[in-house]
Structures are given as C-alpha cells and as structure tokens.
Amino acid sequence: MGQKALVRDLLQDPAWEEKDVGFPLPDSSHACVVSLPTWDSVIGYEEDDPAIVARMRAGYPRFFIHPITARYFEQVEARFADEGSRIIAYSSEEAARRAASYVLEQSGVTARLLSVERAHLMVPKAGYAAARDYWRHTGEIISSRQAEDLLNGSSSDSRLAESHRQSIARVLEVESRDAFLLESGMAAIFTLFRVITERRPGLKTLQLCFPYVDALKIQEQFGAGVDFVNDATGDGLEEALCAIRAGTYAAVFCEVPSNPLLHTVDLPAVAEACQDGAVPLLVDDTVCSHQNIDTLAYADAASTSLTKWVSGVGDVLAGSIRLRKDSQFADEFREVLEREVPGGSRLYHRDGDALVRNASDFRERVRKCNCNGLKIAAFLAAQPEVAEVWYPAFTDREAYEAIRRPDGGYGGLISFTLKESDKTAVMYEAMQFCKGPSLGTDYTLVCPYTLLAHYREMAWARSCGVSAALLRISVGRETEEELIARLERAFAVVR
C-alpha cells in the first residue's frame, strides 16, 4: 500500500482526497493524527467506548499510546513486570523518578524503576492511571521511533543533538545557545515550570488568560499552586500587575494568543510589571508561531510546540524553549537548562532528523496558512448562522498588533460558534476536513475543542467563556477555493 493510501486509511476520513494533497505527507508509521469524524465518535472517545477506541490506530501521543510504543511496553512487561503490574517508559531516569513520586502522591501506590532500564517504571495496576496522567500532563515521554529502535535492539545516537539544535535554532531565529529542544511542547512548559518553581519554592505561579488544558494542570498539581486570571483585561489585569510588581509570584505564564479563544494579553504591560517585580515572564507562542509574533521582545523565555507549525506534518512530537539573550534571567536559565537538556536537545535522534526535515518549508507553511486563515475567518464572520468568531485579526486586535512582526500575519487557527448551538453536531459532521485534536498542519483540521480538552469539566470551561459548542479550525495549505467550497457545503446542511 502506498504512503498516501496509508495516511488516508489512518485518518479514516472520506474528506481526505488525493487531489487535495499538494504538500508532504506524514511518515504514516509514526503519524500522530487521528480522525473522529462524527460527534458521537468524539463522545465515544472521551467515554473510552471500546467500539470507538478499538478502531483508533493512532492518536496524539500524550493521550494515546502509539501502537509501536504499546508493543514495546508489552515486550518489557513480559520480561520484567511483576504479576499485576504494568510498565511505562519516560524520556529519562529523572523523569521516571518524578513520575514515581507523582504516582505515590496521587494514588498512594509505590512504583519503582527497573534496574535494567532506569527510565522505565513498573507500576501496580492501581497506580497506572496516575502514571499515565504524568505522561500526559508533562509530556516527558518516549517517542514511537525510540520505541521502535528499542524493539529492534538499535541504539540512539546522541552525537546528532547539537546538529539538530543548530538547525532548529536557525528556524527559531535565535542563537544556538539560547535554543533548547525537548521531547514535546508540554515537556518544554513543564521544564520551565520546574526551573522557576525550584528557584523560588513556596511561591505560586500566575496564569493569565484561559490556557491549553495541561498548561494549567501542571501548575495546579505541581509546585505551590497557581492563581488563574481568566479575564486579563481592565481591573482584573491591573490587580494582577500590582501583585506581579510586588514579587508575589515565582513566574507569570501566558499563551499568546490563547487557545482556543485567541485572546492576546497586553504583553508590554505585563513585561514591565515583571521587570519591576523581578518575576520571570514565560510565554507560549504555539498558536501563531514566532514567524508572526515577537514574544521574545518581552518574555524572558518562550516555549512552543514544534509539533505544530514548525513540523506541520503530524508525524513527530517536539517542543522548544527559547531564551531572550538580554533577559535579567538569561545566564541563570541558560546554566540550568544546559543541565536539564544536555547538548541542547532531548529529542531522540530519529525524531530530530524528522523535525529538521519537516521544518524545511516552515516559512511557506505559515505564510500560506496566514493567507488562508484570514480569508476563512472573514468568510465565517459573514455567515448569518455564526454567532461569534475568535481570530487575532478580530480578537484583542490592538494587543496583538503590539507584538506582531512587520511581515507577520494572524495565523491559521480560528474558533467559532453557531447561533443555534443544537446544530453544532450537524455542522461538525458536514465539514469535510480532517478531524482531530491538533493544529498547525499542512492539512486543515477541525475539532469540537471543548469536548476534547474539557469533557469532564465542561461547566468550568463554560464559566470561563468557552462554549461546549465551540468548533476550532486549524486552516491548512489547501487552496482558498477548496476551503470555501467545503465550508459552503457544510453551512448548506445547517440552513
């Protein structure tokens, strides 16, 4: 079977038509894409319905253990696991030790490292859910390529770490010494979180604006806790700025723009307060990418999920941390990160190879998706059935413009709701796009974001202004005409 046929089979979505594919396809054996083409399939996935889960051949790796990785775990379990225990591997011995502490805290169960494989944890079944939660929240996981090589008895090649670091640093437009590559975007955020909370133990962190789900979870479940300011405007922002100036927090976290509501906080004002209070400002710019916005003009460090726009294909998991070279914390952070990320990269060498290869057309990917994103956002805003559209060109425009690069655009991520929310499921099923929980790919992705990210906390999400009926589109590189035609056909169904 050819690669295109394999990918279509993986996606299980009739909307994936060969005539639409004018860009590189993922390595199908390591794809981290999944299709949930119907509303019921989304709910079935969240409810762990065997009829749905059994059909899934792949998924986002922090949430769904890749089949190759699962086979490797089964092999290790057969050789080393005690009866009633499971094996799970992390990206390092240090990560496995942290996971063991988390399992004990969350479940009261003692897990132990394997003496033969120090990054592997043997966990009694009663603690396995907690071990998987650590895998999901922190992103400190092994990749399917690493699992594949472990199955085959192949060894890793750490000599390539510096080469990968230099290549991606050029893409990220920072000096090599200020770029650090990690095994996932969440691992980048979690590493920054550990660095800043260890330097000021006992202090809370501050989260501005509604964040990606696990970015908040790690602040809630590790460290001293978090203060969350959902509406970071007006009096809410002023109160937060006063607390920052007083040095109340270990660090300030924010996503610019936020996911999924595309809000942009007043980053210059926050940066000024952080400077006054000697509080690190840590910004994640995954949603629009550094090609569109210059977060390092204000942030002390920026994280991003390289899985998204930089890779853009959906077959490698990776993250990065970038340091602002003139930050008051630059030397301190650089020294710590050189220990945390030896050689500047924690990527498995084959994942690094894939990332460097995929990143070769990063600039063209972002440019094209900027153009398509603006046109699709305008199209959606003009539809009488649409209640609201969230997009940086419309949402907090002044704050976004303050950090937009002179040649930057507004990205390819858009969220919207319908006036008649009871038609959302019909609309979703009528949208002939790939359907899965990611963004920043060459192919358009649509998902019912709130159901996927906050299924078990829907009331809380709603209280933060995130509707259960919100649909999120990551616009790809298909032609504008094809994108509009597909959307017109979907709207015709709900009219």
Cβ pair 256, 295 in contact under 8 A: yes
Q: Is 46 exposed, middle or buried (0-12, 13-18, 19+ CB in 10 A)?
A: middle
Sketch the domain layout of the chain as residue ranges.
3-152, 158-360, 362-494
Q: What local confidence, expressed as pLDDT, does residue 24 receive?
A: 53
pTM, 2 dp = 0.92
CATH architecture for segment(s) 158-360? 3-Layer(aba) Sandwich (3.40)
E strand intervals along 419-470: 434-435, 445-447
* pLDDT of the residue at 346: 96
Q: What is the SS3 assignment for 437?
A: coil
Domains 158-360 and 362-494 share a fold: no
Q: What is the C-alpha separation between 65 and 87, in angstroms, rounded?
A: 12
pLDDT at 54: 82
pLDDT < 50 regions, the chain: 1-22
According to the model, what pLDDT value does residue 413 have? 98
pLDDT of residue 61: 82
- Among the four given CATH numbers 3.90.1150.10, 3.30.1300.10, 3.40.50.10190, 3.40.190.10, the one describing domain 362-494: 3.90.1150.10
State the pLDDT at residue 11.
34
DSSP label at residue 308: I
Which pLDDT score, from 0 to 100, does residue 154 have?
87
- DSSP-derived letter for residue 228 is E
| Tokens describing residue 28 | 């199908």
pLDDT at 32: 62
